[in-house]
């Protein structure tokens, strides 16, 4: 039984971490919730008991065995080393530690072996889009040798936090007669103003997720760097366009993957169908995968003009496998390895 801390417990990912810890019966002797001063002092129900939310910046961390962070990058930069120094493992959902060479970036189905090898008390959880893509790509890499991927993402608003969800909800509340004007004539509609996304997200798609660094966005840079690190392929060619879409939960990725060897369509589908954490579905959608643990994969096709390439459409719940579930799986693996005691 372990003393578990959830940092960012009041947020979207924190809420899913709380329910997954219960669903999967993680062996907990004590649970502690942390957030910013905004939520400190409130109480959250956990397994029939009210648990006080502590201010993460002033709390005493001693006694924690494992701490799951989803409190944003700047909080994690400051707090994760302090919590790790107090003796707890830190599993961090933010971008803060992912590309640190001493910190393993782990998707248990892909590179879980790193947990047995690492001396780092901080373990990074990958970006929610990259994570979803790497699970099926690893299977295909083992079969055919992955050389290059070209991808376009369709990212849900919940990937931008609770404020992103609120923004789409506000814009969806636009009067239905105005929305039908947009549908039938494309004329301008007065949507409530946007603050989180760079334009109106309702009734729209925006090829700009994160912020621009030269011609790429931070989401695109994360996808390139993190997929190379997770798959342990420094020379992997990766080119991606990240697009925000008016979907609440579930990131989708259209991928064309190029291999050293010629892939076989039926063999690839068969292998994906038995990959742990993957569910083959001919036409996967975000609505269907929201609330599900598996990464859904479908639309598997060979491009006749590039026979060493395989196209696939991948969908994963960004709050579950893309964040909370993966973090809890890492905690379970650390427990199995005897690292938490």
Looking at 69-77, 178-186, 230-238, 255-263, which segment touches ligand NAP (CB under 6 A)?
A: 69-77
Catalytic annotation, pick one of 57, 128, 265, 289: 128
Count of CB atoms within 10 A of residue 260's CB? 10
Least gap, CB of 73 to ligand NAP (angstroms):
6
Of 287-306, binders to ligand NAP (CB under 6 A) are none
Least gap, CB of 278 to ligand NAP (angstroms):
19
Q: Does 39 bind ligand NAP (CB under 6 A)?
A: yes
Q: How far apart are CA 86 and CA 103, in angstroms?
A: 18
What is the helix (H) or strand (E) element at residue 13, kind and residue range? Answer: helix 12-23
CB 54 within 8 A of CB 34: yes
Q: How far apart are CA 143 and CA 140, in angstroms?
A: 5
Out of 93, 130, 134, 275, point to the residue binding ligand NAP (CB under 6 A).
93
Q: Does 44 bind ligand NAP (CB under 6 A)?
A: no
Using the minimum distance from each CB to ligand NAP, give the nearer residue, 238 or 324: 324
Q: Does 111 bind ligand NAP (CB under 6 A)?
A: no
Using the minimum distance from each CB to ligand NAP, give the nearer residue, 94 or 153: 94
Angle at 148 between CA 290 and CA 314, to 5 degrees: 15
Using the minimum distance from each CB to ligand NAP, give the nearer residue, 220 or 258: 220
Q: Does 240 bind ligand NAP (CB under 6 A)?
A: no
Q: Which 3 state secondary structure label does DSSP give 164?
A: helix
Check if 128 is active-site. Answer: yes
C-alpha pair distances (Å), 113 with each of 142, 163, 180, 194, 330? 16, 36, 53, 43, 11
Out of 94, 202, 227, 329, point to the residue binding ligand NAP (CB under 6 A).
94
User: Which alpha helices (DSSP H) does 154-283 contain, by range?
Assistant: 161-172, 176-185, 218-231, 265-273
Residue 319's nearest CA partner among 148, 39, 129 is 129
Binding-site ranges for ligand NAP (CB under 6 A): 8-14, 35-36, 38-39, 56, 70-73, 75, 93-94, 128, 158-159, 161-162, 318-319, 322-323
Catalytic amino acids? 128, 251
């Amino acid at each position: 039984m372990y003393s578990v801390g959830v940092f960012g417990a009041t947020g979207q990912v924190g809420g899913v971490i709380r329910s997954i810890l219960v669903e999967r019966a993680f062996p907990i002797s004590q649970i502690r919730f942390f957030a910013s001063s905004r939520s400190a002092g409130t109480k959250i129900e956990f397994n029939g008991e009210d648990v006080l939310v502590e201010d993460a910046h002033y709390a005493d961390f001693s006694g924690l065995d494992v701490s799951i962070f989803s409190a944003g990058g700047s909080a994690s930069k400051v707090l994760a080393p302090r919590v790790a120094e107090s003796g707890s493992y830190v599993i961090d959902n933010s971008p803060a530690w992912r590309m640190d060479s001493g910190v393993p970036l782990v998707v248990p189905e892909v590179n879980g072996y790193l947990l047995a090898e690492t001396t780092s008390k901080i373990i990074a959880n990958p970006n929610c889009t990259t994570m979803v893509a790497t699970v099926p790509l690893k299977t295909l890499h083992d079969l055919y040798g992955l050389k290059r991927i070209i991808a376009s993402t369709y990212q849900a608003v919940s990937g931008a936090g609770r404020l992103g969800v609120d923004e789409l909800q506000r814009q969806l509340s636009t009067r239905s007669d105005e929305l039908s004007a947009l549908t039938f004539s494309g004329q301008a509609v007065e949507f409530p103003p946007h603050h989180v996304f760079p334009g109106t997200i309702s009734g729209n798609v925006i090829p700009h997720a994160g912020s621009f660094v030269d011609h790429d966005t931070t989401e695109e840079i994360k996808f390139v760097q993190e997929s190379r690190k997770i798959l342990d392929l420094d020379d992997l060619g990766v080119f991606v366009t990240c697009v925000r879409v008016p979907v609440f939960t579930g990131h989708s990725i259209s991928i064309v993957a190029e291999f050293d060897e010629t892939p076989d369509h039926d063999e690839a589908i068969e292998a994906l169908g038995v990959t742990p954490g993957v569910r083959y579905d001919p036409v996967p959608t975000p609505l269907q995968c929201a609330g599900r643990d598996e990464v859904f994969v479908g639309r598997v096709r060979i491009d006749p003009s590039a026979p060493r390439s395989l196209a696939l459409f991948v969908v994963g719940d960004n709050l579950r496998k893309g964040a909370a579930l993966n973090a809890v799986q890492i905690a379970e693996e650390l427990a199995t390895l005897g690292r938490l005691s």
